[in-house]
Structure 1
């Protein structure tokens, strides 16, 4: 069984080595980088299955590395490792396409659990390449929504929100849980942002009258199809 390739970018040598060795005991093939430029080049050269990025790094910070990766890859899981704990930092990390955010100090076991969780979710998503939503065809990895001969491109967040709605179709998708997963927080401003994305998805699904996204007040949203 081949090992899972993991890119770890951490500029604290001692911490980076400890995390690297711990992951290697769990059958990960870890490449450790000490700065953002090296991390981005390593991503290009090695095509890892998951990326773990420290935010504060020399030459290029973790957020910038993630932005560059997201230009060419919308699906690879990205975890941020950081001592920064301000809500605005967490929100920024998720808004640029991060999948999880682990604050220092952290336990290795917690990090490994989060890595495995993201890899399992990534596998589920890859196995669901083409989803049928009423008369629409949703190609999640490509972030494309098709209706007969027409095609619409979705943003990264629109695609992930629709994917989670589909996974829970005809059931209520918990508002707080999805906000924390995709926005990183369930505060008022994140909630208003999610409402805007729901409105956008409704417009993009309007060609099939059998499809609706209903607001279940106090609980969340339900995709009916």
Structure 2
């Protein structure tokens, strides 16, 4: 059984190390960051299975970080840790993209159970809902897009672009965030490469007129269908 790759953003270093060491004895691989900027870079580079965020952090707070993560990944389990315990604080956590919210102090057993529950829910949702695009079937792991008797083999990055579009279905996929997620760098040349992938995907999806990938000028792309 492979380990769960977890990103932990917690600026209290002692608490962060305790959480990291505890989780690593329970089949987790943990990347610990002590500020929001480092955590976002780790998210881009590590592609974790789940994210646990403190809210009050230097350089970039947990709410801002969560919103940036959600620009490229709508489905990754995201759990907030916070000493704030008012009802509005919890509501704010969910409004900023969180799937769950744990108030400090908490037990490691509770944290682990909640992470596993979120991973189970997201996996089920992805299996049931994320692989159908109109009359097409999309298998990200096999990098295959199929329509009736026609099967298209996708490149890894082509599949990643389609996955991001699908996760942001009927919403704008921010181009800059997508470039950072796929290439690790937002520059002109990678932007042109992404435009080429978008054109190729449009052609492959042309058999179903209900599906469109539109350009949103100055912002990114939107998959409609």
Verify the 8 A CA contact 1:6 1:51 in the aligned structure 2. yes
Counting only pairs closer than 5 Å after superposition, residues 1-225 of structure 1 correspond to structure 2 as 1-130=1-130, 141-144=167-170, 149-150=209-210
Deviation at 1:125, TM superposition (A): 1.3
Deviation at 1:92, TM superposition (A): 1.4
Verify the 8 A CA contact 1:125 1:141 in the aligned structure 2. no
Structure 1 runs of 4+ with >4 Å offset: none
Matched residue of 1:90: which SS? Answer: helix
Alpha carbons of structure 1 residues 131 and 35: separation in structure 2 relative to 1, 3 Å: closer
Q: State the match for 2:176 in structure 1.
A: none
Verify the 8 A CA contact 2:73 2:167 in the aligned structure 1. no
Deviation at 1:126, TM superposition (A): 1.6
Verify the 8 A CA contact 1:93 1:101 in the aligned structure 2. yes
Question: When the two structures are aligned, how many residues end up with a matched partner?
Answer: 153
Deviation at 1:136, TM superposition (A): 9.6
Q: 1:39 & 1:22 partners in 2: Cα distance? A: 20
Gaps (5+ residues) in structure 2? 139-165, 172-207, 214-225
TM-score by length of 1: 0.60
